[in-house]
Each structure stands twice: as C-alpha cells, then as structure tokens.
C-alpha cells in the first residue's frame, strides 16, 4: 500500500487538512486489515501484538465499529432485537446446512 499526502502547501492549515485526510484513510485501512486478519484466523492477541496494543484494545477498536454498524442497521431495518436475533439464527442454521 502506498499513501501520498500533498503537504506542499505553505499554509499549515492546508497541511493539517491533508494530514487529517491521510489519518482517516490509514484508520480505514487498519480496520479493513483487522477484518481480513480475523477472517484468516488471527487471534486478538496476534492482532494486538502487531498493532503494539493489548488484545483487549485491538478487540475494542474493531468491535466498536461493528456495534455502531449493527445499531444503524437495526434502526433502518425496523426489526426488534428479538426479530433480528431470530433472523440471524435462521441464517446461521441455513448456512450450517449447506
């Protein structure tokens, strides 16, 4: 991966905007990479070690996003928590039967 940030501006505020954009992109890549690592079987301890944080901190970084996303989906779907759980259970059972 390569990230280029335009810092050629003599305006420090322009440079700060460029750094903020780069920070957002790096954060996105980190979260995507964590998701891929989990899909490939990496433990939270391994991910935490790679990030230089505890396994709890790595788990929180990733799972806070998941919780926020699920809350947004739940709100848009109009399903109650029980309905959403039944739907998830039905899907899990269907996948297990494949």
Range of the domain at 50: 12-96
As a whole number of angstroms, the distance between CA 93 and CA 98 comes to 9
Within a domain: 5: no
Residues 6+ apart with CB under 8 A from 15: 7, 9
- Count: domains in the chain: 1
Within a domain: 2: no
pLDDT digits (tens, 9 = 90+) for 40-71: 999 999 999 999 999 999 888 877 777 777 77
Place of tokens 């990733």: 62
pTM for the predicted model, two decimal places = 0.58
Q: What is the model's pLDDT at position 46?
A: 95
Query: For 30, what's the count of Cα atoms within 13 Å in the CB-facing half-sphere?
Result: 16
pLDDT digits (tens, 9 = 90+) for 4-43: 556 666 788 888 888 888 888 888 888 888 888 988 999 9
């Amino acid at each position: 991966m390569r990230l280029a940030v335009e810092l050629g501006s003599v305006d420090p505020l322009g440079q700060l905007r460029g750094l903020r954009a780069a920070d957002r992109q790096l954060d996105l890549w980190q979260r995507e990479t964590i998701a891929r690592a989990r899909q490939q079987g990496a433990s939270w301890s391994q991910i935490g070690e790679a990030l230089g944080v505890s396994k709890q901190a790595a788990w929180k970084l990733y799972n806070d996003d998941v919780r926020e996303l699920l809350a947004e989906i739940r709100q848009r779907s109009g399903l109650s928590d029980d309905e959403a759980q039944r739907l998830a259970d039905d899907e899990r059972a269907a996948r297990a039967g494949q």
